[in-house]
């Protein structure tokens, strides 16, 4: 059963009637372009087939309730109170995600009505595959629909605005200082394509990404190592980048080109140099990846993916043992390229592999984890799926 059907059925069980609307949004993997989004740079994600669905109905009393179907099949309920009284810090735990979206939409002038939400999905949580953003995007679209402004209707707000509102919810309500990559991927990706997103200009380009036609597969390795952006060094990295941009007299590190890099590094304090080197070279790698894909040279992006990992491991310092074991084992057993994806400090890696090597590389990765006595990773092959949309 699809997450949308599961959510609708759970809603029926909970409320004794069908939901007014069901919207769903996917998780993502970022092919390349990591920690570039909050530096006004470039990213290149694909949407996963895994989705979070939100079945929702309007309430006339202004209250917001949410229930989420756990892996155990049990519905976990939370009362979020009156939408008009939501404020940053007022809700803790997973309820902060739906509540934050309701709060942010309201702050932006959307007339958010009271609502009952029932959430179900299959995006692995805590795997760096953006399950929280999938949830937030699906909630945003469901609440907009209940407010009479469905994303597929004449009074729809631009999706770029919805992405920004979800970011406001994440930054100011949930308290995670994340950029625009995940929401944009979840809302704007399309099937069979990677999404080239220029965060500064807002320009989007759908880049064909057909692994099957090239006899390739994109292997996702969920290391099961848990990360948390708010508690991890994500915010520190971001501040470091903003500080470096200030010292360099530019709006964001996006403004430093590879040709400017040596000069820029020379005037920066030691501790900021590796951060800047990562961001500047990573933006360049995104552009090179897009050129290879445009030229139909899918296999040629492998070395760029690997170089991105090395840069995140050695310069940005956001990898960890599990991610390095996954990447090294994939490369040593024949992957064309591999890198960690997402915020880092755990989560998932991706490896671009020849279809005929998929099994042996998967086995080599599992063996490497077993050898290091690490929890076995979860492996699956990703093909670019559709972005968020209405299910009913
Ligand atoms: C997380 C954040 C994104 C982005 C990535 C790193 O996924 O939510 O905004 O910064 O990390 O590229």
Q: pLDDT tens, position by position, for the chain (392 residues)?
A: 999 999 999 999 999 999 999 999 999 999 999 999 999 999 999 999 999 999 999 999 999 999 999 988 999 999 899 999 999 999 999 999 999 999 999 999 999 999 999 999 999 998 999 999 999 999 999 999 999 999 999 999 999 999 999 999 999 999 999 999 999 999 999 999 999 999 999 999 999 999 999 999 999 999 999 865 546 799 999 999 999 999 999 999 999 999 999 999 999 999 999 999 999 999 999 999 999 999 999 999 999 999 999 999 999 999 999 999 999 999 999 999 999 999 999 999 999 999 999 999 999 999 999 999 999 999 999 999 999 999 99
Distance CA 79, CA 124 (A): 24
CA of 198 to the centre of ligand 1 (A): 14
Distance 33 CA to ligand 1 centre (A): 9
Per residue, the 3-state secondary structure of 264-314, as one string, reads: HHHCCCHHHHHHHHHHHHHHHHHHHHHHHHHCCCHHHHHHHHHHHHHHHHH
Give the CB-side neighbour count of residue 376, counting CA atoms within 13 A. Answer: 8
- The reply to whether 5 belongs to the active site is no
Residue 256, token pair as written in the block: 């430093």
**Residue located nearest, by CA, to atom 9 of ligand 1:** 179
* DSSP β-ladder status, 114-121 and 63-69: parallel
Among the options 37, 40, 116, 182, which is catalytic? 182
Distance CA 290, CA 41 (A): 14
Question: Which protein residues are within 6 Å of ligand 1, measured from CB?
Answer: 30, 34-35, 37-38, 178-179, 181-182, 342-343
Residue identifier of the C-alpha nearest atom 2 of ligand 1: 178
d(CA 274, CA 311): 9
| Beta pairing, strands 337-341 & 348-354 | antiparallel
Question: Which of 30, 37, 347 is the best mutation target for the ligand 1 pocket, counting ligand atoms within 8 Å of the beta carbon and taking the most?
Answer: 37
Alpha helices in the chain (DSSP H): 3-15, 96-107, 131-146, 159-168, 181-188, 234-248, 261-266, 273-294, 302-311, 321-332, 358-371
Task: Tell me the CA–centroid distance for residue 181 and ligand 1, in Å.
Answer: 6
Domains of the chain in start order, with CATH, are 3-205+386-390 (3.30.230.10), 209-382 (3.30.70.890)
| Beta pairing class for 63-69 and 42-59 | unpaired
The continuous run of DSSP H or E covering 116 comes out as strand 114-121
Residues 245, 32, 385: CA angle, nearest 5 degrees: 130
């Amino acid at each position: 059963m699809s997450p949308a059907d599961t959510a609708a059925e759970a809603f029926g069980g909970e409320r004794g009637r069908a939901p007014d609307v069901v919207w769903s949004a996917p998780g993502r993997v970022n092919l390349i372009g990591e920690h570039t989004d909050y530096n006004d740079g470039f990213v290149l994600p694909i949407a996963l087939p895994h989705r979070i669905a939100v079945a929702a109905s309007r309430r006339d009393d202004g209250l917001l309730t949410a229930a989420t179907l756990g892996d155990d099949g049990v519905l976990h309920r939370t009362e979020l109170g009156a939408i008009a009284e939501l404020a940053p810090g007022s809700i803790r735990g997973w309820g902060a995600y739906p509540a934050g979206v309701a709060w942010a939409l309201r702050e932006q002038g959307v007339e958010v009505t009271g609502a009952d939400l029932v959430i179900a999905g299959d995006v692995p949580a805590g795997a760096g595959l953006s399950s929280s953003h999938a949830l937030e995007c699906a909630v945003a679209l469901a609440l907009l629909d209940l407010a009479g402004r469905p994303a597929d209707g004449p009074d729809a707000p631009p999706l770029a605005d919805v992405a920004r509102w979800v970011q406001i919810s994440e930054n100011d309500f949930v308290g995670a200082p994340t950029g625009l990559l995940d929401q944009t991927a979840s809302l704007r990706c399309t099937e069979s394509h990677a999404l080239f997103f220029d965060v500064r200009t807002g320009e989007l380009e759908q880049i064909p990404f057909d692994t099957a036609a090239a006899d390739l597969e994109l292997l996702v390795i969920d290391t099961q190592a848990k990360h948390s952006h708010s508690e991890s060094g994500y915010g520190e990295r971001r501040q470091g980048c903003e500080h470096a941009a200030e010292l360099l007299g530019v709006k964001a590190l996006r403004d430093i080109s590879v040709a400017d890099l040596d000069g820029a590094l020379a005037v920066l304090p030691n501790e900021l140099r590796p951060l800047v080197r990562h961001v500047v070279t990573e933006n360049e790698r995104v552009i090179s990846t897009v050129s290879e894909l445009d030229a139909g040279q899918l296999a040629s992006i492998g070395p760029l993916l690997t170089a991105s990992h090395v840069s995140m491991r050695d310069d940005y310092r956001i990898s960890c043992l599990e991610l390095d074991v996954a990447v090294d084992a994939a490369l040593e057993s024949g992957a064309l390229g591999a890198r960690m994806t997402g915020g880092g400090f755990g989560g998932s890696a991706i490896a671009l592999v020849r279809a005929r090597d998929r099994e042996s590389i998967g086995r080599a990765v599992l063996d490497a984890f077993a050898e290091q006595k690490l929890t076995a990773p979860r492996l699956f092959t990703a093909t670019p799926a559709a972005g968020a949309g209405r299910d009913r």
